[in-house]
Amino acid sequence: MSSTSSSRIDLRDHVQDQDLSEEYLSSSSRDYSAGSSPLTTPALSDEEFDFDVPSEDALLAPTQAPADGSEKYIMVIGGLGYIGSHTTLELLREGHNVIVVDNLSNSYKTVLKNVRMLAAHHCKVNSVPMPRLRFFRIDYRSKAMHVLLERYSNLVMTVDATSGKQVVSYQSRIAGVIHFAAYKSVVESIQQPLRYYRNNVCGLVNLLQELERFNIRNFIFSSSATVYGSKANAGLPLKEEDLIHHQVKTQNEAGETTIVEPTIEGLSCPYARTKYFGEAILADVAEADPDWRIVALRYFNPVGCDPSGVLGESPRGEPTNLFPVLTQVLKGDRSNLNVFGSDWPTRDGTAIRDFIHVLDVARGHIAALNWNSKKGNGFSTFNLGSGTGTTVLEAVRSLEQAAGREIPLALVDRRPGDVGMCVASTERAAKELGWSTRESITKCAADLWNYVSKVALRS
């Protein structure tokens, strides 16, 4: 049974950029086959993005059957950002239909075009149909999100087992949601804590409520190794059980039960706390309602980009992370890299991080989605890291090798809030998700340099 309830929410109220408004407002040839009728949500378009110039690959990729209202989608919120765009691309390459929700606050419209082009190329080469890719430029916190979720839902009638009464509920065509849309600058979070809490925490709570309304309970959350706080400084690979949200009962070798209480240590900034609170909220939600299947993926240091050199990391503001700063130096936009701290207790005095190729991170999301659908149960956490520690200087050297030139450095004081070492234990992800990294730091550097050289050629 299809929804016939009417909605008063108009997406036009939420479109922020006139330049893009036609993506929502044009109403020709809509697919109203399921969910809601043209009368219920007149302004909502799920048209594929209209490209100025369709690529040859997009035209030649085998096409799929027309939509009949039964297709399943993965919704990627923040799907055009750095990790989001690579994950969207991998999902398409793996044959998933994708709905991208992004307000372009830290990404660009051209990213969608590039993702689609790369996916179409993959489909053409492998003679497989191109999955559906829908794009909605909306803020996931706006009321437009409700309209969008309704649009992808059917109303179904079931009989309540206890009362025998007929119950009407939503059945969504969105099989899972990956949520990337959070702010991630440590420095900014210290200057604007409320903005960070409003988006990363309040936004998450509202989103979960909205998803519950539509019976979508398969959720992947972008977390970060930052939740381990100063536990990272113990000098050991970080295990997921180093940060838990509820009591855990374990048995020691003698068979005695011990209870491990949740503890946190040295969360260094509001950004870190938003990720910690996000996880804690998700753990509570899953505890209260066992139908939820939630995975928090704790990223270590995602770097690199798709080997095509077409997708990369291009934050809108001033970059503060190591590789984006190095990119600026290579492009000539910055004279040198300031190395924050050369007195850490490490092999060359610079801090150690676990750099992981962004495509490995993207594949980690697909592994988590698959796992969640088959074995997911309540709230689970997984590290996405390589397990290998690389110093800042070693990372710089790998990029110098890829670029074939020296990167000017200045050794300066430690950055407030930094930890000396942060490396993942990879056991749980390997054992449970069957996922581990494929790429090395050398490959990360080579792909990044490929991207930088292509950007230089384009501009």
Under the criterion CB under 6 A, does residue 97 sit at the interface with ligand UD1?
Answer: no
Q: How far is the CB of 301 from ligand UD1 (least distance, A)?
A: 5
Q: Which of 86, 353, 357, 363 binds ligand UD1 (CB under 6 A)?
A: 353
Dihedral (Cα; 101, 102, 103, 108), 10-degree rounding: -140
Under the criterion CB under 6 A, does residue 322 sit at the interface with ligand UD1?
Answer: yes
- C-alpha pair distances (Å), 161 with each of 164, 165, 166, 212: 6, 8, 9, 21
Q: Which H or E element spans position 374?
A: helix 358-374
Phi-psi region of 235 (alpha: psi -120 to 50; beta: other; left: phi over 0): left
Under the criterion CB under 6 A, does residue 392 sit at the interface with ligand UD1?
Answer: yes
Q: Which stretch binds ligand UD1 (CB under 6 A): 85-93, 148-156, 162-170, 333-341?
A: 333-341
Least Cα distance to 373 among 81, 119, 96, 84 occurs for 96
Q: Which of 189, 218, 226, 388 binds ligand UD1 (CB under 6 A)?
A: 226
**Nearest 5°: phi and psi at 223?**
-110, -170
Distance CA 32, CA 75 (A): 19
Distance CA 102, CA 358 (A): 19
Q: Which is nearer to ligand UD1, 138 or 305 (CB)?
A: 305
Both tokens of 335, joined, read 């004279």
Q: Which is nearer to ligand UD1, 339 or 358 (CB)?
A: 339
Q: Which of 87, 218, 224, 436 binds ligand UD1 (CB under 6 A)?
A: 224
Give exposure, 146-172, as e/b (b: 16+ Cβ within 10 Å).
ebbbbbbbbbeeeeeeeeeeeeeebeb
Q: How far is the CB of 374 from ligand UD1 (least distance, A)?
A: 29
Under the criterion CB under 6 A, does residue 184 sit at the interface with ligand UD1?
Answer: yes
Both tokens of 66, joined, read 């027309």
Q: How many residues bind ligand UD1 (CB under 6 A)?
A: 23
Q: Which is nearer to ligand UD1, 156 or 236 (CB)?
A: 236
Footprint (CB under 6 A) of ligand UD1, residues 234-273? 268, 272
- Whether 152 is catalytic: no
Q: How far is the CB of 459 from ligand UD1 (least distance, A)?
A: 23
Catalytic residue among 82, 140, 152, 271: 271
Which sequence positions are flagged as catalytic?
A: 271
Residues binding ligand UD1 (CB under 6 A): 184, 186, 224, 226, 268, 272, 301, 320-322, 325, 337-340, 351, 353, 392, 415, 417-419, 422
